[in-house]
Amino acid sequence: GEIKVADDLTREPQKRLYELNIRAIDFGYPSLSSSTIVKIEVPINKPVTIAPNNIFHVSEGVKIGTKVGSVNATDPDGALGSNQTLWYILIDKDVPFQINNKSGIIVTTAELDTESMSTYQFGVEVFDNDPAPTTATATVTVVVEDVNDNPPILSSKVYKASVVENQTNIGPVILSLSPSLSVEDKDKNPINRKVRYFLKRSNASLFKIHPKTGIIKVKKTSQFDAETEDKYILEIVVYDGIHRNKSKLVVNVEDINDNPPVFPKTYSYQVGPLTSIGTKFGKVEAQDSDATRRNNRVLYVLIQGSAGKFGVDFITGELYVSSNLTDNTQGEEYNLVIQAFDTGEPSLSGFAKVRIRVTLNKPPIVNDTYVFFVKENSTTTTEIGKITVTDPDMNQNPQEEIVYVISDITGMFTMNSETGLIQTQSLLDREQQEQYIFTVSVINIGAPTHTVSTTVKVIVEDINDNEPIFKSTVGYYGTYTETDLSGVVKLNQEIIATDADAEEYNRDIVYNLSGGGAQLFTFNVLEGTIRVKHPVNIRCDVVDTYDLKVTAIDQGGVGHKTETSLKIVIQDINDNAPIFKKQYKFKTPITAKVGTKVGSVSAIDSDCSLQNNRITYLLKDGGFGKFKIDQDKGDITVADNLVREPVETKYNIVVQAIDNGAPGLSSSTNITILVPLNHPPTIKRSFYFYVLENNKAGIFIGNVVADDPDLQKVKGEKLTFFIADKSAWKSGTLNDDDDNDVTTAAAIDAVADDDDDDDDD
């Protein structure tokens, strides 16, 4: 009962629905049967259809992934099964698009630029997923629409043009730009390439630009003045509705010769009559306001009024003397006319008047007599005074010169020939000359030259210029014997100072005595002598010499001062005996050899002179002749063997100190000399010790004790112990040492030692 496909269902004729009459027959007899109708639906896959016009528009510059459009295809069989779908693919792969395989939506895969490519065409294929699939193809056209994405570009960054200044009665002038003005806009759409022109900057109002053509006109040429503004800088702006761009426009104003030279003032000069030919003394200068060198360059010519005496430099306008001004002394004033003209076309000119006055020299005016005062001993070049001169025309004729000449035969003064200042040339001494009189000539060099004279009197004023001078140039010397109750200091000469000044006030001298101990003395100004105030206070042993200063001050003690030395020596008398300052005690060993120094004594004598304070030392008593003393130094030494009888442990001797004065004075002192004796030590006659036999060496046996009365009294003394008789012991059986310990030197055998003892017995 299985129904099977017997032939290709796609072969014609094709039917969507087949109705089969099926009959069922059994094998009985008679055979029975029944029938039924079986319907078989065979879906037929109809071809896919696609829209014929697939034209899309997209703007350039859109983002990648922007939807361009959608390809729409239909499948007639799509309703027969839910699994019936369409599949879209791009036939051309080198386009900046991709298609969604299921939806057919086309999007961009790259940025689009209509200036590079304005239209794209590519194929799209659509097929279904039927076992016997059908396909369809279509052409897709994408038009890239232009947008305004390119700015307008001017043909140059800088444009230049020119306009002539002050042009009247002419209409608007079109500026000729260099280079020519043009704009480029790369957009495809003419609407996007359409631009408008503008002018910017503060002075743009003087010009007008056509907004469409860019033609620039000057509104009013008469407004331009090269002297006020020779250049205008503007900006040309182009605008395409979105984008702007700009370039610089430089408009130069061309200068014309419309300003004549102008002199800013009148001129007046004064020239000395001795001015040499060719000397420049002034300058005229005209100003031309034109902007360019061609129109504002000025040249000068002398028109009239110089009488051949003056000239003007053609280029600089400098005035100069052209001939000798003293040829005609009556010509004191000249009025010149100077013309200044420029080099423009046509040339313009201006005029100036110059007044020149030539001054003639007039004699100077000076006083008949001048009196000046100066202090004596003023330093050289000290200013004494100045000759003042009045010259009526000096300020009018700077070429004139005043020269001063001094006629001083003494040579004490000098004079500045230019200023008239008188100064000292040497030191002036009032005591030698009180005043000086000389003549000064004043020479006024000019045209003509004049000379006048005056008398100068210089009075020298006295000053305290002389110091007091002591009669002795090496100082003074005096002596005083101590205890002399008269108090007179014996001087080598009287102490007197003199002053060479003429004025009594300057010669009034006051004396002062200074230095250590000056208060102990008095100075008699009239006699020039020195005395001791209190003789008992002057002692040579306190101070033996006074180094003083004697000061002489003039002008009653406020003027110049001079110092000299005064040395007063106190003469000594022997009024002090030598004195021992302490008690002496010496110690020496009994073994000291002859000549060994025991000690030294010293006495002090307060007298100040060597004769009175020199001390001699004598050994007067004691010592049994075993010691002696150095008479000058006081050193005590051993004179004999100290162990020779009589032997003493203590010696008492007397030392006397005598000075060398007249009469001599002395004093004595007792000296103790200790000589310690060495007593023998004492020891017990026998000691008994016990020791075990066979002990090793170094075993302590016992201690031997001895007594020495000098042991603690004599430094460095010690006792030494040793075994005097070793014959009673075997060699090395006992040990001896510096201390008093007895130890074994080897092992001791009691039997052997006993036998030895028996043998010894």
Give 754's pLDDT tier (boundaries 50, 70, 90).
low
Q: How many CB atoms lie within 10 A of CB 262?
A: 14
pLDDT > 60? residue 82: no
Please report the pLDDT score of residue 454 as a whole number: 95
Please report the pLDDT score of residue 497 as a whole number: 92
Please report the pLDDT score of residue 738 as a whole number: 53
Please report the pLDDT score of residue 736 as a whole number: 44
- What are the φ and ψ backbone dihedral angles of 612, each rounded to 5 degrees? -90, -25
**Residue carrying structure tokens 């900057």:** 201
**Mean pLDDT (whole number) for 173-201:** 88
Q: Are residues 585 and 607 in the same domain?
A: yes
Residues 690-707: tens digit of each pLDDT: 888 887 788 888 888 888
pLDDT > 70? residue 147: yes
Q: Are residues 157 and 243 in the same domain?
A: yes
**Mean pLDDT (whole number) for 588-610:** 92
Higher pLDDT, 396 or 342: 342
Secondary element (H or E) of residue 191: helix 190-193
Q: Which of 73, 150, 63 is nearest to 114 (CA)?
A: 150
pLDDT > 80? residue 398: no
Q: Determine the distance from the C-alpha atom of residue 107 to the mean position of all C-alpha atoms in its chain, rounded to a whole number.
A: 74
Burial 219-230 (b: 16+ CB within 10 A, else e): eebeebbbbeee
pLDDT > 60? residue 79: no
pLDDT > 80? residue 11: no
In this structure, of 248-257, 311-320, 593-602, the range with the lowest mean pLDDT score is 248-257
Listed residues 145, 165, 191: the one ending a domain? 145
Answer whether 675's CB lies under 8 Å from 651's CB: yes
In this structure, of 89-98, 201-210, 603-612, 712-721, the range with the lowest mean pLDDT score is 712-721
Give 575's pLDDT tier (boundaries 50, 70, 90).
confident
Q: Determine the distance from the C-alpha atom of residue 612 to the mean position of all C-alpha atoms in its chain, rounded to a whole number.
A: 73
Answer whether 552's CB lies under 8 Å from 523's CB: no
CA distance 264 to 287: 8
For residue 683, being part of any structural domain is answered with no
CA distance 575 to 35: 196
**Mean pLDDT (whole number) for 185-189:** 82
Q: Are residues 474 and 549 in the same domain?
A: yes
pLDDT > 60? residue 729: no
Please report the pLDDT score of residue 431 as a whole number: 81
For residue 43, being part of any structural domain is answered with no
Q: Are residues 135 and 158 in the same domain?
A: no
Give 83's pLDDT tier (boundaries 50, 70, 90).
very low
**Mean pLDDT (whole number) for 176-195:** 87
Please report the pLDDT score of residue 329 as a whole number: 56
pLDDT above 90 as % of the chain? 46
CA distance 643 to 677: 9
SS3 sequence, 489-551? CEECCCCCEECCCCCHHHHCCEEEEECCCHHHEEEECCCCEEEECCHHHCCCCCCCEEEEEEE
Residues with Cβ within 8 Å of 174's Cβ and at least 6 positions away in sequence, in order, are 215, 216, 217, 218
Q: How many CB atoms lie within 10 A of CB 171?
A: 9
pLDDT > 80? residue 45: no
pLDDT > 80? residue 52: no
For residue 658, being part of any structural domain is answered with yes
Q: Are residues 96 and 162 in the same domain?
A: no
CA distance 639 to 641: 7
For residue 422, being part of any structural domain is answered with yes
For residue 206, being part of any structural domain is answered with yes
CA distance 605 to 615: 8
Give 126's pLDDT tier (boundaries 50, 70, 90).
very high
For residue 439, being part of any structural domain is answered with yes
**Residue carrying structure tokens 């001004």:** 325
CA distance 323 to 309: 5
Listed residues 145, 171, 206: the one ending a domain? 145
Q: Which of 387, 384, 382, 390 is nearest to 405 (CA)?
A: 387
* Domain at 96, CATH number: 2.60.40.60
**Burial group, residue 98, by CB count within 10 angstroms (0-12, 13-18, 19+):** middle
**Residue carrying structure tokens 């495809």:** 188
Q: Are residues 546 and 590 in the same domain?
A: no
Residues 109, 114, 115, 120, CA torsion sign: positive
Residues 236-245: tens digit of each pLDDT: 999 888 889 9
CA distance 422 to 720: 113
Q: Are residues 326 and 282 in the same domain?
A: yes
CA distance 497 to 475: 12
Structure tokens at 519: 């208060």
Q: Are residues 377 and 457 in the same domain?
A: yes
Listed residues 410, 438, 461: the one ending a domain? 461
For residue 679, being part of any structural domain is answered with no
pLDDT > 60? residue 307: yes
Which runs of consecutive H residues, i.e. helices, occur in 571-661? 610-613
Strand order in the sheet with 734-735: 700-703, 741-744, 734-735
CA distance 756 to 733: 13
Q: Are residues 171 and 236 in the same domain?
A: yes
CA distance 173 to 370: 86
pLDDT > 50? residue 731: no
CA distance 654 to 668: 7
Residues 636, 641, 642, 645, CA torsion sign: negative
pLDDT above 70 as % of the chain? 93
Fill in the DSSP letter of residue 314. T
Structure tokens at 293: 């060198």
CA distance 271 to 393: 12
Q: Are residues 67 and 114 in the same domain?
A: yes
Q: Are residues 493 and 422 in the same domain?
A: no
**pLDDT, averaged across the chain:** 87
Which structural domain, as residue segments, surrounds residue 310? 267-358
Q: Are residues 117 and 138 in the same domain?
A: yes
Please report the pLDDT score of residue 752 as a whole number: 63
Please report the pLDDT score of residue 688 as a whole number: 83
Answer whether 209's CB lies under 8 Å from 247's CB: no
Residues 479-533: tens digit of each pLDDT: 999 888 899 999 999 999 998 887 888 889 999 999 999 999 999 888 889 999 9
pLDDT > 70? residue 735: no
How many domains, in total, are found in the chain? 7
* Length in residues, the chain: 761
Please report the pLDDT score of residue 226 as a whole number: 84
For residue 532, being part of any structural domain is answered with yes
Residue type, 591: T
